[in-house]
Chains A and B, each alone.
Chain A
């Protein structure tokens, strides 16, 4: 039974006592209706779990494919130019076939999401390899501008929440254009084009399952940024992403019967703020070092606004006084220390890494004790990203790095399958939310 129907059934079952009380239905009719529809309501967990497992599979496969690319890249420079160009166009060609199949056969959300991401990845691979083969000059921000412009129609054509999420994170990269090669109007245009879609999904109260799917996919761009970017430039983005993700997870975990707009709203807020901050070159740099900024007062006000929602979230969530909720308090403190240079930058960087590690451990432990795969994976991915970011070095060699990626991805998938089966055999499926 489709998730849409399951939601309707849940609503209907909630209405039955009222209808019985008001005499519209008698007791027998109510029981017959309940007996008929209740099994369908139980199936709501099935699509949730399938989306969730699909998202996990995507993350695991990305790790594995990253490893394969690494192994392949060892001999990349020795391939002839024609072979490298063929490799550049192949993913987009395959993605186009997949996309046409999805549209023609009117496949479900999983196919649409996968086709949208596949197509966007095809564009990313194509330009990256062509740039490399022909040594095209250009900045990372310009590359991302191309990628965002190519991805935008795909968000709407495939109705892809995952790509919309990745798009929001991609907006941050446009602020890396120190030389002004990406204009403010281009940044605002990119933001303005995706705002209607996200706003629409934020108010879609039936989107609970999709919200979760979208949230998990957002980990991929976070991992991307964590691995490839300069640490000082990106520290704020990493911390923002962690806080958004975990605050969203936490609130979502509490409010099982309502669609959770926290994360999507957070994306929108952070993307808008980063774009506005891009009015002055060096927004993130200024956050870190207090460097010279053209609109220093404006940016300081932005900083204040930026910290405020996290402080409010922390106060709200601390009502429960769990280890996790108390940890949320640390984020604004670290951000304030970074903004006002209260601590040495290197020390602060290690503090931030330690903070992310402890958060990961808390999520892992909390998730396991409550039999929640969602929380276990949040913690695991956080620790994996931290490990990749801080301890994997190019000195290891691409073959060794590739094997590490492959083994990590394989382990990630295997542990998820094992835990999922174990929790299921214990009679506590992960999709069932426990009251605490």
Chain B
């Protein structure tokens, strides 16, 4: 292949590379904006609410959901690599895990989880799975509201619950955070003049 021919192919190759790179973010946006079915809402017990910070985001509060126990049936093994958990809802709205797989469940609410730890008790293998969520519940808050939230987290004696939207592709979004059954985020957003 001549140098001229290679040069003439470069624009097309470049555009192809750009389009290929756009595929992942675009598919994520589309799956959230136009989900195959409406996201379901589950409640998760939250633990390890702690202050964190880095140079580019400043101080923020990090949220970690409590691991949920799942007992593997005889002969069942945990998938290697990515793990998706099919969710079911308890009477109080809290999520429990009904099944695990290495791919998203097509017709059931599922969430991608990380393996927290495993236990063997009375011959039964139990794994504890944690949905990874970040600090998204801080969105649309003024810096003052964030500071208020951090102070709240530093106060002991509250029972925290995260309200999580679960999308069909296994991703999730924290839509609310409750302290002793009171929605703290909505309260702070109401207080925030620029809240949306």
Which of A's residues lie within 8 Å of B, judged by CB?
A: 66, 69-70, 73-74, 77-78, 80, 85, 88, 92, 96, 99-100, 103-104, 106, 119, 123, 126-127, 130-132, 134-137, 146, 149-150, 153-154, 157, 179-181, 183, 227-228, 388, 392-395, 397-398, 401
Contact at A123–B21, with CB atoms within 8 Å? Answer: yes
**Interface-lining segment among B119-127, B170-178, B179-187:** B170-178
Q: How far is the CA of A162 from the CA of B18 in the complex (A)?
A: 19
Task: Assess whether B80 is interfacial by the CB under 8 Å rule.
Answer: yes
Shortest 8 CB-CB distances between A and B: which pairs? A394-B53, A135-B136, A150-B21, A153-B17, A130-B25, A398-B58, A135-B173, A78-B194
Q: Does B133 contact A (CB under 8 A)?
A: yes
> 26 A–B contact pairs at CB < 8 A?
A66-B56, A70-B55, A73-B57, A73-B58, A96-B18, A103-B7, A119-B18, A130-B29, A134-B28, A134-B29, A134-B32, A135-B134, A137-B131, A137-B170, A137-B172, A146-B24, A150-B17, A157-B14, A157-B17, A179-B114, A179-B115, A181-B82, A393-B53, A394-B54, A395-B59, A401-B58
Chain A min CB distance to B196 (Å): 7
> Nearest chain-B residue to A147 (Cβ)?
B21
Contact check, A137 vs B171: say whether CB atoms are below 8 A apart: yes
Measured in the bound complex, the distance between the Cα atoms of B11 and A78 in whole Å is 38
**For the complex, is B138 an interface residue (Cβ under 8 Å from A)?**
yes
Q: Does A135 lie within 8 Å of B174, measured CB to CB?
A: yes
Inter-chain contacts of B15 with A (CB < 8 A): 96, 100
Cβ of B140 under 8 Å from chain A: yes
Interchain nearest-CB distance for A234 vs B (Å): 13
Instruction: Give the docked Cα–Cα distance between A202 and B58 (Å).
Output: 41
Using CB atoms, name the residue of chain A closest to B83: A179
Cα distance A96–B21 in the bound complex, in angstroms: 12
**Contact call B171/A134, Cβ cutoff below 8 A:** yes
Residues of A within 8 A of B139 (CB): 77
Q: Chain B nearest CB: distance from A97 CB in Å?
A: 11
A135 and B171 contact, Cβ closer than 8 Å, known pairs A85-B29, A104-B11, A179-B81: yes
Taking the nearest CB of chain B, how far is it from the CB of A305, in angstroms?
29
- What distance in Å separates the Cβ of A225 from its nearest Cβ neighbour in chain B? 13
In whole angstroms, how far apart are the Cα atoms of A96 and B143 in the complex? 35
Residue numbers in B under 8 Å from A66 (CB-CB) = 56
Could you tell me which residues of chain B, from 41 to 71, have a CB within 8 Å of some CB in chain A?
A: 53-59
| Residue from the list B13, B56, B133 in contact with A157, Cβ < 8 A | B13
Q: What 1/0 mask marks residues of chain B from 9 to 23 whose CB sits below 8 Å from any chain A CB?
A: 011011111101110
How far apart are the CA atoms of A99 and B59 in the complex, in Å?
A: 37
User: In the complex, how many angstroms separate the beta carbon of B57 from the nearest chain A beta carbon?
Assistant: 7
Q: In the bound complex, what is the Cα–Cα distance between A82 and B13 (angstroms)?
A: 30
Cα separation A110 to B14 with both chains bound (whole Å): 18
Closest to B134 in A: A135
Given A96-B18, A103-B14, A134-B171: A127 in contact with B24 (beta carbons within 8 A): yes
Cα separation A227 to B55 with both chains bound (whole Å): 8
Q: Which residues on the A side are within 8 Å of B32 (C-beta)?
A: 134
Residues of B within 8 A of A134 (CB): 28-29, 32, 171, 173
CA distance A227 to B54 in the complex (A): 9
Instruction: Specify which chain B residues have a CB less than 8 angstroms from the CB of A73 in the assembled complex.
Output: 56-58
B118 → A minimal CB distance (Å): 13
Given contacts A126-B25, A137-B112, A394-B58, contact A180 B171 (CB under 8 A): no
- Extra 13 A-B pairs, beta carbons < 8 Å, given A104-B11, A228-B56: A70-B55, A99-B18, A103-B10, A103-B11, A137-B112, A137-B132, A157-B17, A394-B54, A395-B59, A397-B58, A398-B56, A398-B57, A401-B58
Q: Are B59 and A137 in contact (CB under 8 A)?
A: no
Residues of A contacting B18 with CB < 8 Å?
92, 96, 99, 119
Residues of B near A85 (CB, < 8 A) are: 29
Write out the residue numbers on chain B whose beta carbons fall within 8 Å of the beta carbon of A179.
Answer: 81, 114-115
Interface hub of B20, B56, B196 (most chain A Cβ within 10 A): B56
Q: Is the CB of A77 within 8 A of B141?
A: yes
Report yes or no: B17 in contact with A183, Cβ–Cβ below 8 A: no
Interface centre among A70, A123, A136, A397 (most CB of B within 10 A): A136
**B130 CB, nearest partner CB in chain A, Å:** 11
A203 → B minimal CB distance (Å): 20
Interchain CA distance A93-B146 in the complex, whole Å: 33
List, in ascending order, chain B residues with CB within 8 A of A106's CB: 7
Q: How far is the CB of B21 from chain A (nearest CB, A)?
A: 4
B101 interface residue per 8 A CB criterion: no
Q: Is the CB of B25 within 8 A of A394?
A: no
Q: Does B142 interact with chain A (Cβ within 8 Å)?
A: yes
Question: Which residue of the partner chain A has the closest CB to B11?
Answer: A103
> Whose C-beta in chain A lies nearest to the C-beta of B145?
A77
Residues of B within 8 A of A88 (CB): 25
Given A106-B7, A119-B18, A150-B17, the answer on whether A77 and B28 have CB atoms closer than 8 Å is no
A123: chain B residues at CB < 8 Å are 21
* A405 nearest in chain B by CB position: B55
Evaluate contact between B81 and A394: CB separation under 8 angstroms. no
A397 to chain B, nearest CB (A): 6
How far does the alpha carbon of A264 sit from the alpha carbon of B165 in the complex, in Å? 47
Check B55 against A392 for contact (C-beta < 8 Å).
yes
From residue A214, how far is it (CB to closest CB) to chain B in Å?
21
In the complex, what residues of B have CB within 8 A of residue A149's CB? 21
